Amino acid sequence: MEEIKNRIKHYKEEMIEDLEKLVSIPSIRNSSSSSRDAPFGQDIREAFDEFIKIGERSGLKVQEFDGYACHIEYGEQREYVGALGHLDVVSAGDHALWDSDPFTLTQRNGLLFGRGVNDDKGPLLAAFYALKIIKDMEIPLGYSIRIIAGGAEETTWECMDHYFKHNEQPIMGFSPDGNFPIVNGEKGILQFHVNFSNQKTKKHHVISKVHCTEERNFVCDFVEIQMDHVEEAVLRPYLLSADEVQIKNNSARIIYRGERSLSRNPQRGKNALWKLAKDLQDFPFSQVGMNQLLHYIDKYFINDFYGIKLGIHFEDEEMGSTSICPMSITLDESHFNLNVDYRYPKGVDKNQVISHLKKQASQYQGEVIPFNEKNLLFVQEDSPLIVALKKAYQSVIGEEAEVLTKGGASYARTLKNGVAFGATFEGENPKPHMPNEQMPVESLLKACEIYVHAFIELAGN
């Protein structure tokens, strides 16, 4: 409808101004500044306060839930349709890798840059302005509509646990935290440690530090090993692939670099741990556990992104293939810990996979311990929800909406009847979790238009 397009044009600058305010808040989880009404830290609390102001300014009903989540609502019906997004963001990392300040919204060549413009502050605002337009146009509703914002999507998801302790589930909904056309499948997630002993067996070549890429959910693009009591003549011949070597006063610092990509797409990166394993798996470390860990990487991970070598590869006709990615190595007083990301489609028995992994790791004296698990999401293409979203998408784009499966995770997994729906269009590279995160202005506006039609289809009377 032309009126919808005109209202989006009318709100364009206001939407971007609101996004500018939200992006300026570095809403990264920080337990050191947490309090009773700010369980995830003061910056995320500030982001909630700003989003609540935006809702109240528009004359919509707003409710806040103890600093875990909030919602903005239109309609008087008890049953509701939900759009679930998040206000927390990941760290900006090294600011020097950005072309502009990550917490200052910047426009260049039709693109918006800043941490959160795509994941997920921009899409959340697109859904909010869609709701605002529904209100402005006084479109009759059969169900209320809620824009629900959480504060721990990038970490523990306890925000949604808390929200649904105080609220019923929506009759159906979507998360604007994925891709267009429609993400009806999100692969299951199993992240696990494989622990190897840090016991020292001799005086020479003692590993004192292992430092990797700090953020989780990435291909390892940096690993640093520090050793004490080093015999340089013994060490040097092993370092065929090292990117940086410093040996001084019988201490060594060795660095391997790769190329970063999200761990759910390991084939797009280059894993620094592979280089480390190739070079040093047979080096005479004081701690034999490091040799066992590196032999384990060499046998089961190098040049395999899908779990074939591990014997846990599976491919589903609708959801695609498994993926596997070693993300980092950490060191504590008793163990070297290899941290691994595994994603799987329907048809995989997660418990069988864990049992299989434990047996394999034990051959290298390793112990498998799962630390992050999320069940998969799959909604049949002929469901009323998908049919309605297809109609909304096609009414704006003019093309039939196809369904997709992704390795990523959205709040749609918390819904009994929900999917991820936008806001990234095919062919775009928004660089979420990376330097220069971005979103085209026109895509933000187009997403808003699609969401107006989606709310009409899902909640209209």
Architecture of 2-187+377-459 per CATH? Answer: 3-Layer(aba) Sandwich (3.40)
Q: 322, 86, 57: which is closest to 188 by C-alpha?
A: 322
Q: What is the mean pLDDT of the chain?
A: 96
Buried residues in 50-63 as b, exposed as e (16+ CB within 10 A): bbbebbeebebebe
CA proximity to 150, closest of 431, 438, 409, 424: 409
Question: Using one digit for the tens of pLDDT, what is the confidence trace for 87-109?
Answer: 999 999 899 999 999 999 999 99
Beta-bridge mates of residue 344: 188
Tokens for 351, please give them: 């418990």
- pLDDT range class, residue 259, cuts 50, 70, 90: very high
Query: What is the CATH class of 188-374?
Result: alpha beta
- For the chain, the distance separating the N- and C-terminal CA atoms, rounded to the nearest angstrom, is 17
pLDDT confidence band for 172 (50 / 70 / 90) = very high
Render pLDDT for 212-224 as a digit per residue (tens, 0 to 9). Answer: 987 789 999 999 9
Measure the CA–CA gap between 115 and 94, rounded to whole angstroms: 12
Average pLDDT of the segment spanning 3-30: 98
Query: What one-character-per-residue DSSP string does 66-102 give?
Result: TTTEEEEEE-S-SSEEEEEEE--------GGGSSS-T
Residue 362 Cα to chain centre, angstroms: 30
Average pLDDT over every residue of 374-380 = 96
325-361 burial code (b ≥16 CB/10 A, e <16): bbbbbebeeebbbbbbbbbbbbebebeebbeebbebb
In this prediction, residues 40-53 reach a mean pLDDT of: 98
Which tokens belong to 343? 């994603």
Summarised one tens digit per residue, pLDDT across range 267-315 is 999 999 999 999 999 999 999 999 999 999 999 999 999 999 999 999 9
Please, are residues 173 and 328 in contact by the beta-carbon 8 Å criterion?
Answer: no
The pLDDT of residue 215:
77
Active-site annotation holds for 153:
yes
**Secondary structure class of 294 (helix, strand, coil):** helix
* Averaged pLDDT for residues 366-389: 96
Domain ranges of the chain: 2-187+377-459, 188-374
Q: Which of 461, 343, 443, 433 is nearest to 102 (CA)?
A: 433
Is residue 219 within 8 A of residue 325, CB to CB? The reply is: yes
Catalytic residue among 43, 153, 154, 221: 153
Q: Please state, as a whole number, how many other Cβ atoms lie within 10 Å of the Cβ of residue 441.
A: 17
What number is the average pLDDT over the span 51-70?
97
* Residue written as token pair 């349709």: 81
How would residue 371 be classed by pLDDT, with cut points 50, 70 and 90?
very high
Residue 234 has pLDDT above 90, yes or no: yes
- Which of these, 4, 2, 3, 61, lies nearest to 454 by C-alpha position? 4
Structure confidence at residue 238 (pLDDT): 97
Told to judge if 88 belongs to the known catalytic residues of this protein, a careful annotator would answer yes
| Number of continuous H segments (helices) and E segments (strands) in the chain | 10, 24
Q: What is the mean pLDDT of the segment spanning 372-384? A: 96
* Equal fold, 2-187+377-459 vs 188-374: no
Q: What is the pLDDT of residue 1?
A: 77
* pLDDT tens for each residue of 124-155: 999 999 999 999 999 999 999 999 999 999 99
Percentage of the chain lying above the pLDDT 90 cut: 97
Cα angle value 307/313/314 (rounded, 5°)? 155
Query: Tokens at residue 299, please?
Result: 């046998």
The per-residue pLDDT for 302 is 97
pLDDT at residue 461 in the model = 79
For residues 389 and 162, the answer to whether their CB atoms sit within 8 Å is no
Q: What is the mean pLDDT of residues 243-248?
A: 96
Residue 106 sits at φ, ψ, to 5 deg, of: -125, 140
From 55, 73, 60, select the one nearest 18 (Cα to Cα).
55
Choosing from 88, 177, 186, 449, the catalytic residue is 88
> Which phi and psi angles does 454 have, rounded to 5°?
-65, -45
The answer on pLDDT for 24 being more than 80 is yes
Q: Average pLDDT, stretch 1-7?
A: 92
